[in-house]
Structure 1
Amino acid sequence: MKQLFKRYGILLICLSLIGVAGLLNGTMDTLQFHYGKSIFPKQVHEQLLGQPRQFWDPTISWKNKYKDWPHDPRPRFPGATTWAVMFTDAWHLLKALMHGCFHLAILIPLVYYYKFPRWIILAAVVPLNLFFGAAFTLMYGHILLDKDIPAAE
């Protein structure tokens, strides 16, 4: 059994992490595109996993990033519109967890097969997130925007 795990265990762990990432992504898309026919709260007083509709429903949860949208569009807390957005709503939390699964699926084999120290998993999370975030911002905030069209608020 130990030999079997040594041979296939890391592969199974990585495939499981990718599977969990798929589950998280499916939940994100359900929130975004099929909220009305999902299991998520529809009424203001309803909750799921201790969280109200305001946390789950992307049509309103995006406002959680701000102090009092539209009257006070400042971030609700430091990082609420950037690096800590995952704490504002379900969609961004699920996205962060999905990325974490992918990062672990990349890092675990490096530690195991290339004998990197285990702390590298924690140390590499920051640069992986910075690299991903920079690439995302490049596309989302610059390259794909038409500079001639004013931003709608």
Structure 2
Amino acid sequence: MKTQSGIKMKLLAILLLLMITNILPAQNEKGTREKWKLDKNKYLTGGLVLVGGTAKGFNETLQFHWKSFKKAFPDANPDWFNPAISWRNKYEDGNPNNGANFPLSTSVLIMFTDQYHLNNFISRSALTTALVIKIGEKKKRFGYYVKDFLFYTLCYQVGWSASYIPFKYKKV
């Protein structure tokens, strides 16, 4: 019980801190508060985050709902798309004892061995690119970052859901 009350107090303290920092006045260089709005930068970075979420959702579809995916795409090659099989593509003749299938196929070029690793590469590249673009922005008030967080979370979840949910509930 002591642990639960301690956690509740920490959460309350964090919530109060968030509320206070959102209420405190913050000004940009011109002395006016900049409002959060959708602009070209958010469309670009939001699109990248959506792609990252889509790639992650696609991976989870392949990993946890392979039968549903195969039913929807009967011509999909399991040697490329099914992670239970395709993980062997990085090895010579599919055997880990034989070593790499081609130079660096088990490390930096792994994205060329199967869909699972390609999706990981796409997801991480898209998210990293969006992050780098956002880092270049000038400092904003805290509430602006909260809205950014909610916007990018929504973008990621929409992408993830679009590539996962249709297969999760498909009857096999």
TM-score of the superposed pair, with normalisation by structure 2: 0.52
Match of 2:98, SS? strand
Confirm whether residue 90 of structure 1 aligns to residue 115 of structure 2. yes
Identity of aligned residues (%): 28
Unaligned stretches of 5+ residues in structure 1: 1-5, 115-153
Give distance in 1, aligned partners of 2:90 and 2:55.
21
Bigger relative contact order, structure 1 or 2 (CA pairs below 8 A, ≥6 apart): 2
CA displacement 1:53-89 (0-9 Å, x = unmatched): 2000111101101112338521000111111110000
Matched, 1:26 2:57: yes
5+ residue gaps, structure 2, are 1-36, 139-172
Cα separation, 2, equivalents of 1:78 and 1:96? 18
Count of residues in Structure 1 that have an aligned counterpart in Structure 2:
102
| Structure 1 residues 40 and 23: CA distance shift in structure 2, 3 A | farther
CA distance, structure 2, for counterparts of residue 63 and residue 57 of structure 1: 11
- Are the counterparts in 2 of residues 54 and 61 from structure 1 also a CA contact under 8 Å? yes
The CA distance in 2 between the partners of 1:108 and 1:53, in whole Å, is 36
Bigger-Rg structure (1/2): 2
Q: TM-score, normalised by structure 1?
A: 0.58
Q: 1 or 2, which has the higher helix percentage? A: 2
1:106 to 131, 136, 143: 131
SS of the counterpart of 1:93? helix
| Correspondence for 1:57 | 82
